[in-house]
Structure 1
Amino acid sequence: MTGTTLHIPTLETQRLVLRAPRWQDFEAYAAFRGDAERTAFLGGPFTRNTAFSQMAEIVGHWQLRGFGRFLVADRHTDEPLGIVGPYYPEGWPEPELAWSVFANAEGRGVAFEAVSAARRWAYETLGWTTAISLIATSNLRSARLAERLGAKNTGQPFGDPDSGKPVEIWRHPVELPADEVAA
């Protein structure tokens, strides 16, 4: 029998594992996608059925593009903490570094650590020299994270092709900061 083999790498940081989503992660993912406060910038809240389709899309993106977002888990407990990584759906202006952290990960530096690892992987493995992040103008937490990552707001608006909601294009540095290269 022949078929398609999908490879999603596993990245590790001091506190985190970035890996392929698993069925065991679905409850945490569905709870996040169903949370009106945390998904307001993403067009949510979403039903469990829609959350399932969205989780399947995360895996399918790897097949179609050769890269995609990782499930972020605690390195010691394997507790799901968020979704982070390279993302390039149809209609986007160019590849993005996207992030969403679950309620249990907010305020702990998880997003910064995970996005830094995913960006390093995109630059070193995929050969990216830059990336964007699309951030809703009212999403101040994501804007602060983008700044901390060294990204700059380009001032260019972009209308999400699905929702029509305006977002701002933030450009990540062309080269990784020295402390990120050594990480």
Structure 2
Amino acid sequence: MNSEFITSVPYLHTERLLLREYRREDFELFAAHLADPVSSAHLGPSDRHAAWRIFCSQAGLWLLHGAGWWTVEEKETGQVVGTVGAFFREESTVMELGWNTWRAFGGRGFANEAAAAAVNHALEIRREPKVRALIASANASSLRVARRLGLAYEADTEIYGKAVGVYTREREGSAV
């Protein structure tokens, strides 16, 4: 893990998207996404109080680890379309990736584009030797994103009592 901490969230730009810090006004869409049983089918829905704790925890990761989650905003409209993260779990030294697209914006390639920016930030800017994503086997859309990002299946594990696959990618020239 990089020992230099970032106290502000770096902005990442793609052709269509801006990846930026979480803002208070982003919470309503975030909470609705976590409460939606379809969107949260793989880890289970969260009530508003749990969603607030998750929202604040993800925002606070930047101060603790110098890595965390971004709100994904469509540049053309300013509409928030989801979140993407490149972060560390408490027990891990391997940077983890995560992505969520709000259901109304699914199928437009936003997850692919945002997650590719997060991978580039992790491997090329931060120079992390390896990244991983934890994905439920039934989560076909996230598995497609992982393949497009060049992540390969490594092993099975559990998160929050749910079985998931570990998908990884190493930085070129990195000796992990």
Report deviation, 1:167. 0.7
Q: Is the 8 A contact 1:82 1:102 kept in 2?
A: yes
1:74 alignment partner in structure 2: 74
Q: Which has the higher strand share?
A: 2
Normalising by structure 2, what TM-score? 0.89
Q: Report the Cα distance in structure 1 between the residues aligned to 2:122 and 2:94, rounded to whole angstroms.
A: 13
Q: Report the Cα distance in structure 2 between the residues aligned to 1:95 and 1:83, rounded to whole angstroms.
A: 16
1:23 alignment partner in structure 2: 24
The letter of the residue matching 1:24 is: E
Note if 1:169 corresponds to 2:170. Answer: no
Q: Equivalent residue of 1:40, what SS?
A: coil
Q: Deviations over 1:47-89 (max 9, x none)?
A: 1111111110111111111111111011122211111121212
Q: Report the Cα distance in structure 1 between the residues aligned to 2:106 and 2:91, rounded to whole angstroms.
A: 29
Q: Report the Cα distance in structure 2 between the residues aligned to 1:92 and 1:128, rounded to whole angstroms.
A: 13
Contiguous gaps of at least 5 residues in structure 2 = 1-5
How many pairs does the alignment contain?
Answer: 168
2:138 alignment partner in structure 1: 138
Report deviation, 1:145. 1.3
Q: Report the Cα distance in structure 2 between the residues aligned to 1:145 and 1:7, rounded to whole angstroms.
A: 27
Contiguous gaps of at least 5 residues in structure 1 = 177-183
Report deviation, 1:94. 2.5
Normalising by structure 1, what TM-score? 0.86
Q: Report the Cα distance in structure 1 between the residues aligned to 2:143 and 2:26, rounded to whole angstroms.
A: 27
Identity %: 35
Q: Is the 8 A contact 2:94 2:130 kept in 1?
A: no
Report deviation, 1:165. 0.9
Q: 105-114 or 79-88: which moved more?
A: 79-88
Q: Report the Cα distance in structure 1 between the residues aligned to 2:170 and 2:91, rounded to whole angstroms.
A: 23
Report deviation, 1:173. 4.5
Q: Is the 8 A contact 2:21 2:59 kept in 1?
A: yes
Runs of 4+ aligned residues of structure 1 deviating over 4 Å after TM superposition are none
Q: Report the Cα distance in structure 1 between the residues aligned to 2:59 and 2:21, rounded to whole angstroms.
A: 7
Q: Is the 8 A contact 1:150 1:173 kept in 2?
A: no
Q: Equivalent residue of 2:68, what SS?
A: coil
Q: Is the 8 A contact 1:133 1:172 kept in 2?
A: no
Q: Equivalent residue of 1:146, what SS?
A: helix
RMSD of equivalent CA atoms: 1.7
